[in-house]
Structure 1
């Protein structure tokens, strides 16, 4: 009779695999890193890894999901304390202003994510997963804030919530991506300028 493995043990083993995968992806890049690299780093056999994940893609999606949910839940708690839509939009901009994109761990996250998006662009199933995540955790969040601001009279009625939500994340993604390559990129100044232009465009009092 095989030994009974507790749920806690399974969860810990899964975290070990994910942590090792992140290290390997950060070191070699998503495309170049292999399951064998994860085996070597984690000390967990290939068969055991495949008990938890069917593929490298699935490992990355779990990493991304865990990170997104954690950040999202933390941000939702803080957002609940903000009274107006403009305060909430300021909060989102300030969250990126306060982040240091040049920290190696942050740069690794950004680089791996960009690599995976390019990889996923050739796979309709992966693209569907990424698109669903984008709408659920990102576009919808900002679009709802904008709609709330329109109802309260803070935001102009001719602002299309989903379009400006997409604009917000497109700019943030674009600015962050520059820091992966350019060490002297004026990250905070750029975010500040974008914040000012964005809010001026949408606020009824601007």
Structure 2
């Protein structure tokens, strides 16, 4: 009788995870946590739910994050680090193009676990003082990235140098949070602006912050 495993037999998820590097397993866990937290919120989501979604045991999670709160914090930091990475790192894009891309992303109506998670993070941070520092730190990191775009815009003449950078950044972040939240709760019978109408509004906002306006 052969002691070798049948090559056609399915490999259990937990066993398969051991063949992957620890970084890949951590990435899988974080991505599963993003999905579960974004769907159920911090309070309702459980570590078991996340482990089940990922096909691993709760031990794999607790070995990395001793508490659900620490896992949630890690998820917030993980998603925040990726939210604007491609936009900020696109050295060839002009400031106007970056602002236009930012405006376009505000109007994406398809389900987005990352944006859902950020809504849940903000709500949870307003209720749980222990979560506030992590959310505030991520918000500040994003503000720093946006401030770089504003500085580029002022230097290139796209943004009026007399405008407050903090005010422009705050407007961008408020629009980002507000538009997605509005789309989540909007009544189905209420018509939404067309893509062309939204693009025109964004274009006018960009023109409004140019010098001379």
Do they superpose with TM above 0.5?
yes
Q: What TM-score do the two structures reach when normalised by structure 2?
A: 0.74
User: Runs of at least 4 residues of structure 1 off by over 6 A?
Assistant: none
Q: Secondary structure at the match of 1:52?
A: coil
**Aligned equivalents of 2:35, 2:151: Cα separation in 1:** 40
Aligned partners of 2:161 and 2:86: how far apart in 1?
Answer: 30
Q: How does 1:110-189 map to 2 (within 5 A)?
A: 110-137=115-142, 139-182=143-186, 183=188, 184-186=191-193, 188=195
Aligned-residue offset at 1:9? 2.8
| Gap regions ≥5 residues in structure 2 | 1-16
TM-score (norm 1): 0.76
Distance 1:141 1:190, change over 3 A: farther
Greater share of helix residues, 1 or 2? 1
Residues 188 and 29 of structure 1, relative CA distance in 2, 3 Å threshold: farther
Indicate the residue corresponding to 2:72 in structure 1: 60
Aligned equivalents of 1:34, 1:187: Cα separation in 2: 39
Q: Note the aligned Cα RMSD (angstroms).
A: 3.0
Aligned to 2:98: 88
CA positional deviation for 1:167: 0.6
Report the CA distance between 1:160 and its aligned residue.
0.3
Whole-Å separation in 1 of the counterparts to 2:39 and 2:151? 42
Structure 1 gaps, min length 5: none
Rate the CA distance shift 1:145–1:111 in 2: closer, same or farther, 3 A.
Answer: closer
Residue 101 (1) aligns with residue 109 (2): yes
